[in-house]
Amino acid sequence: MVLNKKIKRVILSQKAVYIGSIILVMLSSLLYTNFNISMKNVEKNKNLFLKITMIEDAKVITQKPLENISELENKFNVLIDERKQLDVNINSNTVLRIFEKTEKVDISYIVEGKNIESDNDILLDPNFAKANNIKIGDYIELPFGKFIVKGFFSMPDYIYPLKSDTDMMVNYNNFGIAILSKNKINEINKGINYYLIKYKSKDSYKIKDYIAENNFIIFYQDIKDNPRYSFVDAKLMGSTKMGSALPVIILLLTSLLVCIVIWRIIKTEFSQIGTLYALGYTKKEILFHYLSYGNIIALLGGVSGTILGLIFVKPLTSFFISYFNIPLIENLFDIKYIIISLLIPYIFIIPAISFVTLKALRLSPVNLMRGNNEIIKIGILEKKINITKLKFISKFRIREVTRSLPRLFVLIFGITIASMFLLLGFLYKNSIDYLLNQSMNEVYKYEYNYVLKAYEDDNNYGGEEYNLSAFKVENKIESFAVLGIKPDSKMINLTDESGKSISINSVIATRPLSNTLNIKEGDKIIITNKYSNKKYEIKIDKIAEVYTGNNIYMPLSDFNKIMNLNENSFIGIFSSNKLNIDEDKILKFETKKDFEEAFKTILNPLKASFAVISLFAFVISLVVIYIITGISIEENKNNISMFKIFGYTNNEINSLILNTATIPVIVGFLISIPLLIKSMDALFRSFSKGIDFAFPLKLEPLSIVLSFIIMIGIYELSKYLSKKKILNISLSEALKSQRE
């Protein structure tokens, strides 16, 4: 169509607007393709890995060894594998958890190298080996011998190899997992024994009741309650949600920007469109002409973004796979995400352009040929603002803002989104710092935590004894801990929302558990003991602002009473000093230092994330402000020309036109603060339900100030880049307009 010959001329005359829109579309397609294909690839490899390695359905520790395992397997249609593990110190800071090789359940998968061939061979976690500069073929010295590293492996119940169930971050520098042969483990004859159970039918779970009736259960954990497994799904789900939501938000912003640009073009071409009608062009042909502008933006942005997204799929997949220790068994690409990535820009942009174009085409050819000579309407917002007593500059800026509400809305919306990106990095850092300090220094006062293999009545070791057991709430949460603590505990300091200490003379739930169960102070709940299946009704007296652990705390004597234990019974000890306890009596040992080090390890990847997020914020805000400023300059060409005729200097004109967006920029930034906290709170709540973790969202005033300074800096840069446009407007522009 001859009409389309002017497309190139229009685009070249407003290069910045179209390049900016293409960049925004490119970012959205890049994010969508990269996140969705990478996450799908990781998820498929994870599922394939779990199937190949026969991941357990439950893990159980009993007071006495299970007898006639083969009979139990046949009776309940399960697979049972016995496994022993022990922790050894490689040095004063590094612990290696060693497992014996299993054959039926939780089978180790060789990622690199070879499997164990002799009793002198050892397999290592690849991330631990990398962190400690250990290679295949190297020798590693342990307290009971020297072993050659035969290969690297992954294990399904340690996909996310946390040292303790209460940890949230992995620290590969200080903790790793390894496998030795069954013969070597038996020869060492240390550590703890437990059983791995794999269900083969829907009734296989009944084996738990049988074991509980015939053998005292010390510990029982379903696989979905194992944070080394459940954290993976939670983190992947969070990444997938971000990868789906962010492209849509950016595309919505782009669509609004393109709408404003196209509408401005159409308004200046009303008479041309009327002439086209007179020459015989149909509405359909004219519509397709203006859709061509959106087609160029969607096509170039979508294709370039999708290609870049595909380029970065492998690095992102490799990052998640190595982070979670999931082997890359098959490299899968889901073609549907590529197609969607290419189509999504059209889904948003084409309907938006159609709307504004058809709005103009509803006018009659005669009205269109008369040109855009509408009387400027005073909007409701301008009517409510009394500007009669204000100076000319203030009047001009207020009218400029209030008489173009769509442009104002898009500017505020764009700044809000960009500011949310910018503040997000600070939010993560501030929240983690708060969580680290609050958990380490305010709540947990102990340095060492010992969990014994069996209940005891006399504490001859020192420290502060406590008790615990695992419970569930039907249809809400499958596993959480109830702890019996001394009312005058010096090791646990629970606080309420105001920061005041809560006395442990009542029933207290932690924040993660209250979020999961959706309970508040004064509510009653029915809890079921996971080992005995006995039900208890308890009243939640207080909610503690503790963000780690799905826990309920109550006085030790009350706990022992409801559990029918001796009055002084305990199974754990908190201590400020290391205690002299026989290693064979210890089921689990952890230190606060390990917990603190694990938190610190997250700060390094956070710095990289902060840099990427800040780059997104910079690009989005610069593009949005520059485009809106450019549109404002185009619409004020006549005014700018008249200002020059009246003797206004370039600096005065720049200030008058370019500073119009100052208030909207500030408003957009202020809106972003509560919006970010609300949206991130909803996101964390959605994927943290059921895991023993609640993320406290904290944004320090200094971080807000720094973000605001950065945003204003971007705004000033955009104004600087726009000055050239104002300088290029000649004094004759107003005279040309009058002649027309």
pLDDT tens string 423-438: 887 887 787 777 766 6
The predicted pLDDT at position 684 comes to 67
User: Which of 137 and 611 is assigned the larger pLDDT?
Assistant: 137
Name the pLDDT band for 123 (thresholds 50, 70, 90). very high
Nearest-angstrom CA–CA distance, 443 and 551: 13
143 - beta bridge partners?
none
> Do 156 and 53 form a contact (C-beta atoms < 8 A)?
yes
> Do 400 and 596 form a contact (C-beta atoms < 8 A)?
no
660-669: average pLDDT = 85
Q: Is 50 exceeded by the pLDDT of residue 570?
A: yes
Residue 209's CB is within 10 A of a number of other CB atoms, namely 12
Percent of the chain with pLDDT over 70: 86
> If residue 99 lies in a helix (H) or strand (E), which one and from where to where?
strand 95-100
The predicted pLDDT at position 738 comes to 46
Q: Tell me the helix, strand and coil percentages in the chain, rounded to 5.
A: 55, 20, 25
Range picked from 196-200, 611-615, 665-669 for highest mean pLDDT: 196-200
Per-position b or e across 518-556, b if 16+ CB within 10 A of its CB: ebeeeeebebebbbeeeeeebebebbbbbbbbbbbbbbb
Give pLDDT tens digits for 33-82: 888 888 888 888 888 999 999 999 999 988 888 888 899 999 999 999 99
Q: What string of DSSP letters covers 610-663?
A: HHHHHHHHHHHHHHHHHHHHHHHHHHTHHHHHHHHHTT--HHHHHHHHHGGGHH
Alpha helices in 122-269 (DSSP H): 126-131, 182-188, 207-214, 227-268
Q: Is 90 exceeded by the pLDDT of residue 150?
A: yes
By three-state DSSP, how is residue 181 classified?
Answer: coil
Q: What string of DSSP letters covers 467-522?
A: EEEEEEETTTEEEEEEEEE-TT-SSB--B-TTS-B--SSS-EEEHHHHHHHT--TT
CA 308, 314, 320, 322 dihedral sign is negative
Q: Is 70 exceeded by the pLDDT of residue 383?
A: no
pTM for the model: 0.68
Q: How far is CA 705 from CA 209, 421, 478, 676, in A?
A: 58, 15, 43, 16
| Amino acid making up residue 314 | K
CA 608, 609, 613, 616 dihedral sign is positive
Per-position b or e across 298-316, b if 16+ CB within 10 A of its CB: bebbbbbbbebbbebbeeb
- No. of helices (H) and no. of strands (E), the chain: 24, 20
Q: Is 60 exceeded by the pLDDT of residue 740?
A: no
533-550: average pLDDT = 85
Name the pLDDT band for 439 (thresholds 50, 70, 90). low
> Do 373 and 271 form a contact (C-beta atoms < 8 A)?
no
The predicted pLDDT at position 690 comes to 47
DSSP state of 77: T
Residue 63's CB is within 10 A of a number of other CB atoms, namely 11
The predicted pLDDT at position 149 comes to 93
User: CA geometry: angle at 645 spanning 639 and 646, to 5°?
Assistant: 90
> Do 392 and 639 form a contact (C-beta atoms < 8 A)?
no
The first and second tokens of residue 286, run together, are 């004219």
Q: What are phi and psi of 692, to 5 degrees?
A: -85, 60
Name the pLDDT band for 739 (thresholds 50, 70, 90). very low
Give pLDDT tens digits for 675-727: 888 887 776 665 555 455 556 678 888 989 988 998 888 888 888 877 777 77
The predicted pLDDT at position 615 comes to 75
Helix axes 313-324, 227-268, angle to 10 degrees: 160
Residue that has been written with the tokens 């799908």 in this structure: 40
Name the pLDDT band for 390 (thresholds 50, 70, 90). low
Averaged pLDDT score across all residues of the chain: 81
Residue 588: Cβ-neighbour burial (10 angstroms; 0-12, 13-18, 19+):
middle
